[in-house]
Amino acid sequence: MKEDILSHVRNNGKITFEQKIRLVIMLSLPTIMAQISSIIMQYIDASMVGRLGADCSAAIGLVSTTVWLLGSLASAPSLGFSIQVAQFIGARKFHMARQVFLQSFGIVLLISVIIGGVGTAISWQLPAWLGGDAAIQHDAAMYFLITSISMPAMAFNRLGTRMLQSCGNTRTPGILNSMNCFLDVVFNFVFIFKWHGFGLGLGVMGAALGTTAAEIVTTIIMFYVLMARTPMLARNYGKDSNMGSGLQTGTIRKAFVLSLPVTFENVVMFGAMITITRIVAPLGVVAVAANSFAITAESLCYMPAYGIEEAATALVGQSIGAGRGKLALSFGRISVAFGMGIMAVTGMLMFIFAPFMIGILTPDAAVRELGVTILRIEAFAEPLYGASIVVTGVLRGAGDTLMSSLMNFLSLWAVRVVLSFLLVGRYGLVGVWIAMAAELCFRGTIFLVRMERKKWLRAGV
């Protein structure tokens, strides 16, 4: 049924409002389940490390935002290629979609190796730069070193996920990334603990090794599916006589044009988060651990919106590629409403069950009390946070990546960072999370305004 409706998108067929809703839900649900599985995995990871003590949790929390920054930079080029694939498929230019897919390999490998090399080079200095306590610096450095070396695996996993989603296949990456979470838990148990002679007992370093091993296994399987089981990217699928000789350089140039604003956005976003970490670090180990655990707990609420974002990118991309701007706008509005509704519910649940969510992660009473307080502050911002996430996917599907990057820059640095500096002295970590909630509400509002102004409809590849 999903393929039938998607073929209507490409073939200019009529799609009812009910079918649009059904398609958004069908494409979103597998990715949502994968995102939820990922967060459950992070919960289990954090809980495992939390049993080792607050210092171990703080070590990972200190460098985690920098790990996310490097990972986002390594995988950013894959977005530029996947947007083109979605729009070429929407235009039924399957040979061109395959060429874009193949050309993405070398670029993603090169960028991810460079990013991983930079991370490796700074790994031993980073914890001190971030103001971490001397007691946690060694563990933090080892964790960061191992995750930096694994950047190519992380980048290719993201490339494979985005390519499958661009073809309208969210089910396979959803299943594989859920499997990745299961493998991560298994490998982490083996690497982190030593119990009755079983396991390696590597602690924080084991957490990084377990995640890396799971990522490698999942990525290998995902690329087998892409190369051998995905007809739209297979050789000689469909007919296309319009593939010009200049495709290769044009494809790479367009990928960078689309990806550079997203790269800037990631630097802005995670740079702000690293700055916030630097603000929080002097507050002590309890504050750093509570901040890290609350971020992990909150992600259970907003990850479903990222699943809807991926579906919105694919649907809008194929609609724009087929020359159907009104359909792209309709898919965008339905996706955003769906995302905001889900996050309103998850925000309410987060407020109610905050003690349970933090309690799973740590037995430390001081960390738990502070974590519950800041988590409940954030609950009120979840619906508008969901709007900003899904609208980002809508804009990216249309190829409008620059404006969303600029809006994120304005929101994060002019609102969150400034307010955090102003409030941390008087309210501590609570003030930082008040600043975060205010910024997310502001960001969601300006993204909704951007979508309804409709200028992004003219940004197609």
Structure confidence by residue, pLDDT tens digits, 399-420:
887 888 889 889 999 999 999 9
**Would you state the pLDDT for residue 235?**
58
Asked if residue 130 lies in contact with residue 277, where contact means CB atoms within 8 angstroms, the answer is yes
CA angle, residues 50, 53, 54, in degrees to nearest 5 = 85
pTM of the model: 0.70
What residues does 198 pair with on adjacent strands? 195
Average pLDDT, the chain: 85
Cα 96 to the center of its chain, rounded Å: 27
3-state secondary structure of 183: helix
Can you give the pLDDT at residue 459?
A: 59
Res 145: pLDDT: 94
- In this prediction, residue 4 carries a pLDDT of 56
pLDDT of residue 244: 43
Q: Which residues of the chain have pLDDT under 50?
A: 240-247, 461
Kindly state the helix (H) or strand (E) to which residue 122 belongs, with its residue range: helix 94-122
Query: What is the C-alpha to C-alpha distance for residues 370 and 368, in angstroms, rounded to an integer?
Result: 6
pLDDT at 434: 96
Share of the chain above pLDDT 70, in %: 91
Query: Which pLDDT does position 406 carry in this prediction?
Result: 87
- Tokens matching residue 381: 């911002």
Q: Which helix (H) or strand (E) holds 458?
A: none
Given this model, what pLDDT does residue 348 score? 95
Give the CA distances from residue 255 to residues 104, 105, 110, 280, in Å, rounded to whole numbers and listed in that order. 9, 12, 14, 37
66: closest CA among 172, 8, 1, 148? 148
With 0-12 / 13-18 / 19 or more C-beta atoms within 10 angstroms meaning exposed / middle / buried, residue 278 is middle
10 Å CB burial of residue 86 (0-12, 13-18, 19+) is buried
List pLDDT tens digits, range 261-318: 878 877 888 788 888 888 998 898 889 888 888 988 888 788 888 889 988 988 888 8
What pLDDT score does 151 carry?
94
